[in-house]
Amino acid sequence: MAIQVKQITGDIVELIFNPREDDLRVGENLSVVEREGRRGLIVQIIEFRTVSYPSLVIEQLHLALEGAPPSLSAIASPLPPAPRGDELFPGTGEAKNLKLAIAKIRKLTDPAWHQWDGWIPMRDVVAGKTSDREVFENCIPDLGNPLRLGRTLAGEEFCIEGRTLEKVNIITGVKGSGKSHLAKVILLELVAHQAPCVVFDINREYIHLPAHDFDPVTGEVRRHGILHLLAGGNLKLSIQQFGLSPLVTMLTKFGLPEVSALYFENRVARLLDDLKRRSGPSHPLPFLGIEDLIQMARNLEFAGSEVVNGAILSRLEAIKNTGVFATHAGEALSIREQYEQIRGGGALVIDLSALSNLARIGFVQAIIEIIKDVCEAEIAQGSNRFPFVFFEEAHLYINRNTIGYIVTRARHLGITSFFVTNMIGGLDETVLRQADNLFILRLPFDDDVRHLGKSALTDQETMNSFVRRLRNHHSLLLGDATRQYPIIFQVDPLDGVNTAGETQYFFRARVPGEGFANTTAALLTHSSQPTSVALPGDTNLPLFPEEGLMPAAPPRLSGIGRPPDTSPSNAPFVSLARVIAVWEHVVRRLGRRRRILETILAYARPVRIFEQTLVVGFPPQHRFHQELLDSPEYRTLLEAEISRTFGVPLQVMTAIQAERRDPRPKG
């Protein structure tokens, strides 16, 4: 049986086919050409339905009634007789297995492809699959820079033109659909074509890709790959490298008031200008570190007010502990020098995993400013070695204004950007409308599909039909790379390349029959008393009196605010004196993991413990540090360390010491 046209309504074509003869899939292309002419349509399947016709319905009703007990309604209303075997649609055999393919008209062919103008063919047509080669010839530009991304649904190798990827690209899909894997495929293809790339890696997804290898003596590149730069580790910047604007952004994210930020910005701008004037060919630019700015704040050089200098000082100390600022010239790493190493092909993978959420925003903005300067230098030299920049989950560390700058102004500087995210709602509509290419993996959520439809690269019906039904590691590509024609392809598995990120698991795979050392029965035989580490005895009393505590946030436990229950069944396992005795050790251990926590907790003291809740107090002048500790990120780290130390789950609540009032009556 040949594929038959049932009807054409608007730009939708309904085709009847036998699935045992024609194996069709959603996303495949068909040509529907008039039998007596050359003109026809290129249509793309968007969904399937079952064929239904009167004789089939009658037979199904007969079959249903044969297996059911007789009823009065069935006797009173007999059905027409079942169809005979010699009828056109007998309801048996192949006829009942026919399917209906719903296809969308994409192009007009005669035989070259053109934009469809509303013409439709007669019913006497020949319908068949369109070859991948014909699709490539009409939809994939070819300028001699093929990037291999995978294979088509028919198994043909799928390549796109590298030039068409330049400027703004979005890669999106739900968690586990393979969006980061697709980004790595594109990255490695760009590196293989000797393109310079920069990756902002928030979850250590890219650090295991093949490393960049070169001869340290001759500088000759042996293998193009990645250079892993850990922010706060082997990647630290001076104040001049970091830049004034990103520095002010980071300070404001740490809570610096606007007025204090103006004082800081004006003073540091003058300082940087003075240092620049003093430098020259024989006098290199002097090193300016975060310690120099801290000393200026202590000397009241930013403003005449102690309050303003104090606010600036506390924020400078906080960002110092992020670890991204060099303490001396030898520790500062030049991003430009690192870029020169991969300028002929390679990738700088900037690992942001060690930074807090607040520190990431300013740090990434600083790197973007450096990339912008690199592009301006490339334009001035006329070399045009512009970078391809990958942003993993950009909405977590780049504000909307910076993203808007990247997709509007930065594209004119030569920066090509890839936004890789599973939170498509985090990207503004402006970004979607400026996108040149969309790589869409499986998206089952209506809100995400509707938001993605604002890109105007295709219609909402195509989005709804394709992206919900995509299998993992299959992608829908739309945009300049396909001349706006929707193409579904299977992503290259990258056999032999370690593309896995760092995922930590508690449970491990076990062979059949392998038992557990600690069974439920064994656990029940253990003592129910909690274990704790040996600690010194009681020491000094709390720094702040308990009656002077003001909760800084609404209590998270129902028992907070009531006198503690001192009954033996509810008595806490850990005493306040024991917590105070090891407090400094806990702070030091946390400082090795997050330096900023050591600064925050330097002003804190444990002041009360009840109902397995530890109250940590701050003096009124350090309310800023109390607010930082009260953030979920830092509070969770402290709770985990305290609980691990004592072997008992403890929660943390922050408080401010209230001013004492003289109880004696006046006069």
pLDDT at site 93:
57
Per cent of the chain over pLDDT 70 is 82
Q: What is the rounded CA–CA span in Å between residue 371 and residue 16?
A: 55
Mean pLDDT is highest, among 82-96, 559-573, 618-632, for: 618-632
Question: In the predicted model, what is the mean pLDDT of residues 557-574?
Answer: 45
Q: Per-residue confidence at 629, pLDDT binned at 50, 70, 90?
A: confident
Q: What are 445-458's pLDDT values in tens digits?
A: 888 888 888 887 88
Instruction: Quickly count: other Cβ atoms within 10 Å of residue 101's Cβ.
Output: 25
Q: What are 179-227's pLDDT values in tens digits?
A: 999 999 999 999 999 999 999 999 899 999 999 888 777 778 888 999 9
Confidence check: pLDDT of 160 > 70:
yes
Q: Residue 284: exposed, middle, or buried by beta-carbon count in 10 A (0-12, 13-18, 19+)?
A: exposed
Q: Where are the alpha helices (DSSP H) in 497-647?
A: 520-524, 576-593, 595-601, 623-629, 632-646
Question: In the predicted model, what is the mean pLDDT of residues 347-356?
Answer: 93
Contact 196, 341 (CB under 8 A): no
Q: What are 456-491's pLDDT values in tens digits?
A: 788 788 888 888 888 989 999 999 999 999 999 999
Q: What is the rounded CA–CA span in Å between residue 613 and residue 663?
A: 30
Identify the weakest region by mean pLDDT among 230-239, 346-355, 447-456. 447-456
**Start-end of CATH 3.40.50.300 domains in the chain:** 154-210+346-376+386-526
pLDDT at site 230:
94
**Start-end of CATH 3.30.300.180 domains in the chain:** 546-657
Q: Per-residue confidence at 544, pLDDT binned at 50, 70, 90?
A: very low
Q: Which residue has the higher pLDDT, 324 or 284?
A: 324
pLDDT at site 513:
56
Q: Per-residue confidence at 257, pLDDT binned at 50, 70, 90?
A: very high
pLDDT at site 510:
66
Identify the weakest region by mean pLDDT among 173-182, 327-336, 616-625. 616-625
Q: What is the rounded CA–CA span in Å between residue 314 and residue 297?
A: 9
* Tokens, residue 28: 């495949």
pLDDT at site 28:
93
Query: In 140-264, where do the E strands start and end?
Result: 146-152, 157-161, 168-172, 196-201, 213-214, 221-223, 226-230
Question: In the predicted model, what is the mean pLDDT of residues 34-58?
Answer: 84
pLDDT at site 592:
80
The CATH code belonging to domain 154-210+346-376+386-526 is 3.40.50.300
Question: Are β-strands 487-491 and 221-223 bridged in parallel, bridged antiparallel, or unpaired?
Answer: unpaired
Closest CA to 543 of 615, 605, 613, 622: 605
Q: What are 93-148's pLDDT values in tens digits?
A: 567 788 999 999 999 998 899 999 999 998 889 999 999 999 999 999 999 999 99
* Topology of the domain covering 546-657: GMP Synthetase; Chain A, domain 3 (3.30.300)
Question: In the predicted model, what is the mean pLDDT of residues 61-82?
Answer: 54
Confidence check: pLDDT of 502 > 90:
no
Task: Name, in order, each residue with C-beta under 8 angstroms of 511's C-beta and a sequence gap of 6 or more.
Answer: none
Contact 439, 462 (CB under 8 A): no
Q: Which residue has the higher pLDDT, 620 or 121?
A: 121
Q: What is the rounded CA–CA span in Å between residue 197 and residue 345?
A: 8
What is the average pLDDT score of the chain? 82
pLDDT at site 67:
59
Quick check: pTM over 0.95?
no
Mean pLDDT is highest, among 55-64, 72-81, 446-455, 520-529, for: 446-455
Question: In the predicted model, what is the mean pLDDT of residues 42-52?
Answer: 90
pLDDT at site 511:
55
Confidence check: pLDDT of 602 > 50:
yes
pLDDT at site 563:
44
Question: In the predicted model, what is the mean pLDDT of residues 393-419?
Answer: 86
